[in-house]
Amino acid sequence: MPARISLQVPDKSLLDAYQAALRGGWSPNTTRNVAPQQLAEIAADPDAFLAEIRGGPGRIKLPDGREVDRIPGPTRWIFAEDRPERPFIGSINLRWQEQDGRPILALPEHVLGHVGYTILPAFAGHGYATAALAAMLGVAREAGLSEITITCDATNQASRRIIEKNGGRLVETFVAPLYGPDQRLRFLVSTAP
């Protein structure tokens, strides 16, 4: 039976579940642990944190220490709908640039792909990330993106399977110097239903 999930817009009623995951050692960022930073931001001003995570303007710090404008786009929190307690199980986001008011495929060098996702370790391997990515492809389609790029580490076979199950076609192996010397894989994924 396929995993059943819901993608929820981050809001105050869901914030306790999100904070519990952060306190448990999970990070919504796969390249660095941002849990302590996010917990501090929530404690300081939960409304501002939620506004920013929903896709509002903001700044991000890159691995090399530079700060850049964050590319706006929706973040959704993932909940398992096939479990009685409907637990929070992860996060997925979509980001894109626009040209002449229309979304484009190109991304700046510090953004590796249009979609990023992470699942709490206790829920990995149950199809939740595959279902979340499939749902986010619908969000991308509604935003006007006919295809998107998604990347993963070359050694991350689980993520590769998730992308391929959603129609991902490998287009290149590359190194993103900003994120270290490891090889990564870039996939193109159609958002067509």
SS3 state of residue 151:
strand
Q: How crowded is residue 50: how many other Cβ atoms within 10 Å of its Cβ?
A: 20
If the chain, 193 residues long, is cut into consecutive pieces of 10 residues, what is the mean pLDDT of each piece? 91 96 94 92 95 80 83 91 94 92 87 94 96 96 95 96 98 90 96 91
Rounded distance between C-alpha atoms, residue 19 and residue 39, angstroms: 7
Domains and CATH numbers, the chain: 5-145 (3.40.630)
Handedness of CA 7, 9, 12, 15 (dihedral sign): positive
pLDDT of residue 73: 86
- Residue 131 phi, psi (nearest 5): -65, -40
pLDDT the model gives residue 178: 81
pLDDT of residue 151: 95
Q: Enter the pTM of the model.
A: 0.91
For residue 171, what is the enclosing H or E element?
Answer: strand 169-175
Q: According to the model, what pLDDT value does residue 115 have?
A: 96
Q: What is the pLDDT of residue 174?
A: 94
